[in-house]
Chains A and B, each alone.
Chain A
């Protein structure tokens, strides 16, 4: 791949200015915000934007990772290094603890995933630590329910989203007012597309976990999606573990992160690959294949 890569710089500047504006609104309007950090590219970009928004001061909120226990090892190493480098407090809450306390029940069967269980752990953590705003890397281009999402998205005292009854969002005046016990989810990169994120990573030279670059890995194919093999995963009889060259286009829980067959091992290669791709990044996410409204249903309950 040697296609010449051009970056629409003015467009990226506008998105960056908007996201930094949102970051500062969060710090000004809420008493105890937290940045939800998954180790994926979108949350890494969020951290980068937060650094820029508050420099030369430190980021005025902690990072929180909801750990399913089914992570790629590389993600955890990267997470710890980044938190240290930024000088931010890192809070980790584990889905395993929610299961052990009987707050969440492990899914059974071959497609069992802890993706959905994260909601329980997340809402418990928000309540326990009294966060009033949780900053997420959700983008409107990702998925059709997300296309309806606000920058400042209200959650009731049960952490639920009511998509039909959302506050209108006019100009760039954000209304973060709420009652006790309620909170907001805030999405500073709402208007970014996947390609914008990659171009921005390239322009700003942002460090990413090695998983995003092509590497050798044990994987198996399920219903057309390549999934990484981990010891706790059950295989169907016909499924075979093979050694292949892959990279991640998104990173989530290991059980639902589809892998891309690729040879891209530089940011230039990745940007060209994304620009030429005819499949969306969530096309490889096993968690969205459950039903047409899978994301809407999870979001209503309080998912990221």
Chain B
């Protein structure tokens, strides 16, 4: 075997994860199909299989949704039930698409897809303008703290590529974006079916001078969204080799969830509140001078402190909030409703506790964004603000400041099912 001396490693843009929400008729599958097809990410054997599936179902045209709907039940019913993950790459970037169904009864799937996304694509039908579902999709993206929202005003071919139609919709979207406080919004007039402004610029819409969808996705900057200010290191696992070479080694394994840690930094350990200094930051056989957000490392400390899974190593000048009474936005996932006084298991970073629901503060009507008070229970797909009390203190940040230390899931102790996604406010 040859060694890799001819290898050229280029510093490029990393991964971009985006989510798409859409309903059956708004052309979402066509859009994804076009992104995959035009970036040559659909392979010949997949295309053969697809043609065969379409023939068997008596379709004249190739239905690209059969490519993304992976389960037998989905193909039979012609709907997307679950989140499907798709992968494609261009020479400039690699992409992960979390493709989710867009109807209100799939709000929980949209929330799941959005939880890991950097960018949300929202499709608006140029003939219909801003609908309830546009508001819903935008709200969910905003709620999950997706900083970049790309509105694709689709089916421009059906409105004669009319500039003023696009501008009117854009104005309405601007109002929505402003109301919610979306940080970075983009608006592109496209025709997924004809290919205008998806991969190639549209000749018909000469009046649009912005980027195509693909080139926007390739260049959108997400690095500045990472949390570099407050150091957070939830301990996942303790590594103690206890062999001759590493007799006294005690490494705290975890993934940095905020800030940049340096060798020699003074740190605070929670919940013990003890202070120490970072002795080493190890990544396999390499000792690093520093490590930042997203990196999986081992941290060793100067002092011998009792630390285990669920503890957190942080900076002493800007520690997280510590408490047992927590208010959060939740999306409810389960058929069994949430009610005050119900008890659940709560998972937050690497720690686990129990909690009791104290109160439903208000429910959000996700079509109108109005708050509804006097709510006694939450049903599947409801989004609401609740307050809880935990059996032990959690160390957390507001979700909008740090999506990792600000997020939780609730688990039903009887069924072990994940029943809610929570975002601390």
Contact = CB atoms under 8 A, between A and B. Distances in A.
B411 interface: yes
Contacts of A17: 255, 294-296
B86 A279 contact: no
Contacts of A57: 239-243, 246
Chain B: number of interface residues, binned into ranges: 35 or more
Contacts of B44: 278-279, 283
B71 A296 contact: yes
Contact of B249 (A56, A202, A267): A56
B49 A292 contact: yes
B370 interface: no
Interface in A249-304: 266-268, 277-280, 282-283, 292-293, 296
Interface in B1-21: 1-4, 6-15
Contact of A13 (B8, B14, B255): B14
B246 to A, nearest CB: 4
Interface string B237-263: 101111101100101011100000000
Interface string B111-127: 11001100000000000
B212 interface: no
A42 B196 CA distance: 39
B355 interface: no
B9 A144 contact: no
Given A57-B241, A166-B82, A195-B89, 9 more contacts: A7-B8, A13-B14, A24-B253, A24-B254, A147-B68, A147-B86, A171-B116, A175-B409, A283-B44
Contact of A175 (B73, B254, B416): B416
A240 interface: no
B348 to A, nearest CB: 8
B416 A178 contact: yes
B4 A202 contact: yes
Contact of A280 (B45, B70, B81, B249): B45
Contacts of B186: none
A148 B8 contact: no
Interface in A1-57: 4-11, 13-18, 20-21, 24-25, 27-28, 51-57
Interface stretch (B146-154, B271-279, B390-398, B400-408): B400-408
A191 interface: yes
A296 B249 CA distance: 45
Contact of A9 (B9, B295, B403): B9
A88 interface: no
B207 interface: no
B224 to A, nearest CB: 15
Nearest to B114: A170
B87 A140 contact: yes
B70 A278 contact: no
A282 B245 CA distance: 44
A25 to B, nearest CB: 7
B418 A14 contact: no
B6 A21 contact: no
B94 A168 contact: no
A268 B294 CA distance: 29
Nearest to A51: B284
B15 A147 contact: no
Nearest to B412: A177
A283 B43 contact: yes
Interface in B250-307: 251, 253-255, 282-285, 294-296
Contact of A53 (B4, B296, B349): B296
Interface in B348-407: 348-350, 403-404, 407
B185 interface: no
Contacts of B255: 17, 20-21, 172
Interface residues of A, number: 73
B8 A4 contact: yes
A143 B7 CA distance: 30
A127 interface: no
A178 B415 CA distance: 8
Contacts of A145: 70-71
Contact of B2 (A18, A168, A175, A266): A266
B140 interface: no
Contact of A56 (B86, B246, B309): B246
A164 interface: yes
Contacts of A282: 45
A280 B43 CA distance: 6
B139 interface: no
Contacts of A296: 70-72
A175 B418 contact: yes
Interface of A: 4-11, 13-18, 20-21, 24-25, 27-28, 51-58, 140-141, 143-148, 163-164, 166-173, 175, 177-179, 190-191, 193, 195-196, 202-203, 205, 207-208, 213, 266-268, 277-280, 282-283, 292-293, 296
Contacts of A173: 347-349, 407-409
Contacts of B249: 56
Given A171-B116, A202-B4, A11 B14 contact: yes
B84 interface: yes
Give me the 9 closest cross-chain CB pairs, A-B, nearest first: A144-B70, A283-B45, A10-B14, A57-B241, A20-B296, A177-B416, A56-B246, A170-B115, A17-B296
Contacts of B404: 171-172
Most chain A beta-carbon neighbours within 10 Å: one of B67, B112, B237: B237
B252 to A, nearest CB: 11
Given A140-B85, A147-B86, A24 B9 contact: no
A228 B206 CA distance: 56
Interface string B52-69: 010000000000000111
* Residue with the greatest number of chain A CB neighbours at <10 A, chosen from B44, B45, B111: B45
Contacts of B70: 143-148, 296
A7 B7 contact: yes
A195 to B, nearest CB: 7
B213 interface: no
B232 interface: no
A24 B85 contact: no
A14 B284 contact: no
A170 B407 contact: yes
B77 to A, nearest CB: 11
A47 to B, nearest CB: 14
B421 interface: yes
Contacts of B67: 144
B229 interface: no
B85 A168 contact: no
A235 B71 CA distance: 34
